[in-house]
Amino acid sequence: MSPWVAFSVITWVAIAVLYFGLAAVMREVRLLRNAVIRDPDGFATAQPDLVLGERFADGGQRIVAAVDSGCPLCLEVAGRLAKRAAGATLLTHEPAATWADVAGTLRIVSDREAWRAVSHLSPPLLMLVDGSGRVRRLLLPVRVDEVDKVLPDWRALVSKEGMSGVADVRADS
């Protein structure tokens, strides 16, 4: 076999291997695209497996925000909840007096055990918690307007399921 024939054969084998590699990558992209299209929010994720404990197991659903006073976005989210979801709960590891400015409209819970359940996530966390204290929906907002978007959606979800106990979410403001 001449060197040119050997070179041509090796080149075509390399091209075939690259083609099959590209085909495998394109298949994975197609599968990923189909997985993302299934969920209208753009994510195909499992439900959160978090339980906040007995202080949140009172039989009714509620909106809970896990916040820290050292986080500027947490302060904005708490203020937005005070305006749009009166009766929601703020979960913190700090003394309740730290959140005195929203204590009139939001329930402040300083619970270190419940905080440990969510402390591996970066605050603020917005959660829809069922009557047993289990987190049904979870949002890690990066902008305050995400709070405005999710509150009506969660209220519609609760209304559709015929459950009560979620804090009043007003569409105005």
Predicted confidence (pLDDT) per residue in 67-106, tens digit: 888 888 888 988 888 888 777 888 888 888 888 888 888 8
Amino acid 16: pLDDT: 96
Residues 33 and 111 in one domain: no
Work out the percent of the chain whose per-residue pLDDT is above 70: 84
Residues 14 and 76 in one domain: no
Residues 27 and 71 in one domain: no
**Domain assignment present for 166:** no
Domain that holds residue 86: 54-161
Look at the chain and count its residues: 173
Per the structure, the count of domains in the chain is 2
Residues 66 and 83 in one domain: yes
**Residue 152: CATH number of its domain:** 3.40.30.10
**Domain assignment present for 2:** yes
- If phi > 0 it is left, if psi is from -120 to 50 it is alpha, else beta; for residue 170 that is beta
What pLDDT, in 10s, does the model give residues 5-47?
999 999 999 999 999 999 999 999 988 877 666 555 544 455 6
Q: How far is CA 116 from CA 25, 51, 67, 104, in A?
A: 40, 10, 12, 26
Amino acid 17: pLDDT: 96
**Domain assignment present for 168:** no
